[in-house]
Amino acid sequence: MPTIHLSIPEWMYDELKRKAEDMGIQVTDLVKFYIKEGIEGETKSQQKDSTQVEESITFLEAKVAQLDALLGEVMKRLKEEDEEDEEVEIKES
């Protein structure tokens, strides 16, 4: 099994040692646990961020579709009003 050596401040080692003793495990096992949690937490965080981005994109796509439909309706009404104005001008002539 690969081995790594860490240089950490004394206060940090003391804290790890105290926590390991409270849990009834060795300091090295506690460090492995924290490393694993950090890696898995990062992955979960990335997945959560990805999900939030996908939800935001879906929401924005829906809003764009609504705005597109609304703009289409406004353009249709403007065209109808313009045609009505042309009919009135023709009748007045």
Q: Which residues contact 30 (CB under 8 A, 6 or more apart)?
A: 16, 19, 20, 23
Report the amino acid identity of residue 42.
E
Q: How confident is the prediction for the chain on average, in pLDDT?
A: 86
Alpha helices of the chain — where are they, by DSSP H? 10-23, 27-92
Mean pLDDT confidence for 67-75: 95
- Taking 70 as the threshold, does the pLDDT of residue 92 lie above it? no
